[in-house]
Amino acid sequence: MELENLVRESGEWLRGTGRESDIVISSRVRLARNVASYPFVTRLTPQERNELEKLLREVIDQLPDQLQLTYVDVDQLDELDRQLLVERQLISRELAEAEGPRGVAFEPQEQLSLMILEEDHLRIQVVHSGLELQAAWEQIEQVHRLLEERLTFAFHEQFGYLTACPTNVGTGMRVSVMMHLPALVLTRQMDHLFRSLQKINLAVRGLYGEGSQPVGDFFQISNQVTLGRSEQDLLRQVGDVVPTILEYERKAREYLLKEGYENVLDQVNRAYSILKACRTISSEETLQLLSRVRMGVNMGLIQDVPLEVLNRLIVYTQPAHLQKLHGEQLDSAQRNIHRARYLRQLLSDGEETASE
C-alpha cells in the first residue's frame, strides 16, 4: 500500500461529525489481546516473533472482505512513513519505534485498526468521530468475535484476558474520548478537573495518548483500571463523566463571552490572523492557534470555517504529513515554512465575521 494515499483523504474521525463534535473530537475503544500458545512480546524469541507475525497476518487476511482491511508491514517502512501512521493515530509511538516483525491493518475509513506485536500480540482499536462510545464498542465487539473464532486468546478464569501490562488485565479494554477544552484552560479549571478525574480512576493524556503531554488544549480522557470491571462498566465510567465535562466547558465559554468578551475576541482574531498570514510557524504554535480558532468557530466568533478543515489541520500540519504532502523530507526550518504555506492555502477562503 502506498501511504501517500493517506494524505489525500481524511479519516472518518477527523470529519467533525457525531454527537457533541464541537467539543468531543473522537471516541475510541481499544482491546489488548495475546495468543495463548505464545509468550508475551518481550519474551518472544526471534523465531517465535516471526511465526506469530505470520500467523496474525494470515488470520487478518481471512477476515470478511467487507472489512476492507489492508495490512502494512511496519518493519519495512522508513521512519517518515512510521511517523505518518503515528500522526494518523493508526499505530502507537511504541510500535513505530520497536524492532523486528510487526504490522498494522486498517480499513479505508480508518475507524478500525489492528496493531500487531506492540506491547501485546494484538491491539484492536476502533475510533469514531464525536461522542459515539457505544457505536465504537459495537463495532469492536463484532471484530473481536471474528478473531476469537480463529484464535485462542490468553485467558484466566479468575482474572480474565491476560496482558503484558498488569493494568490491562481483565477486559484488556481502554475507553477514551478526545476532547477540546480551551475554555477550561483559559479559566484555569483544568487542574481541578485532573484531580477530580484521578479520584474516579480516569486518566488525562495528550493528543497521542499514553506518554504524550496535552498540547493545544486537546485531552484524552480514559479509564485506568480494567480488572474486575465489565466492558459495559468501563463504557459507562467514561461515558457518564463526559456530559459533566461538556457542561463545564460550555459554561466556561459562556463566562468568557460574558465577562471577558474583548479579551477572548482578541485572542481568537489574533490566532486566526496569524494562521492566515504567517510565513513560518512551528507545529506547537500551530496547535495552540488552531485551538483558539476552533474555539472561536464554536463560540460564533468566526464564521465559514468548517470544523472538518480545522480537525484536518490539527493532523496535516504535523511533520510527517507535511513532508508527505510536499513529496520530500524537510528539515525543521523548511517544515515551518511549508506549514505556514499550507495554513495560508487552506484558510485563505475563510472569512472572519467577528466584530468589535
Domain boundaries, the chain: 3-252, 261-347
| Secondary-structure breakdown of the chain: helix, strand, coil percentages, each rounded to the nearest 5 | 50, 15, 35
Question: In this predicted model, which residue has the larger pLDDT, 8 or 70?
Answer: 70
Whether residue 234 is predicted with pLDDT greater than 70 in this model: the reply is yes
pLDDT score recorded for residue 303: 85
Element (H, E) at 194: helix 190-199
Is domain 3-252 given the CATH code 3.30.590.10 in the classification?
yes
pLDDT of residue 9: 77
pLDDT bucket at 355, cuts 50 / 70 / 90: very low
| Residue 351 pLDDT grade (very low, low, confident, very high; cuts 50, 70, 90) | very low
Q: Is the pLDDT of residue 346 over 60?
A: yes
The residues, any chain, with a CB within 8 Å of residue 167's CB and separated by 6 or more, are: 224, 225, 226
- The pTM of the full predicted model, rounded to 2 decimals, is 0.90
Q: Which residues of 143-180 are buried (b: 16+ CB within 10 A; e: fewer)?
A: bbeebeeebebbeeeeebbbbbeeebbbbbbbbbbbbb
Q: Which value, in Å, is the radius of gyration of the alpha carbons in the chain?
A: 21
The predicted pLDDT at position 70 comes to 93
Q: Is the pLDDT of residue 8 over 90?
A: no
Q: Does the structure show a pLDDT above 50 at 356?
A: no
What pLDDT sits at residue 307? 84
d(CA 48, CA 43): 9
Residue pLDDT, tens place only, 174-233: 999 999 999 999 999 998 998 999 888 888 887 755 555 566 799 999 998 887 888 999
| Mean of the per-residue pLDDT values of the chain | 90
Kindly tell me if the per-residue pLDDT of 353 is higher than 50.
Answer: no
SS3 127: strand
Lowest mean pLDDT among 10-14, 36-40, 41-45, 151-155: 10-14
Residue 18's pLDDT band (cuts 50, 70, 90): confident
- Checking if the pLDDT of 167 tops 70, the result is yes
Is the pLDDT higher at 205 or at 296?
296
The residue assigned the cell 465577562 is 259
pLDDT in tens, 66-93: 899 999 999 999 999 999 999 999 999 9
Each residue's pLDDT tens digit, 315-334: 999 999 999 988 889 999 99
Please check the confidence at residue 253 and state whether its pLDDT lies above 90.
Answer: yes
Instruction: Give pLDDT, residue 1.
Output: 52
pLDDT 10s digits, 124-150: 999 999 999 999 999 999 999 999 999
pLDDT, average across residues 120-125 = 98
How many angstroms separate the CA atoms of 15 and 312, rounded?
A: 8
Percent of the chain with pLDDT over 70: 95
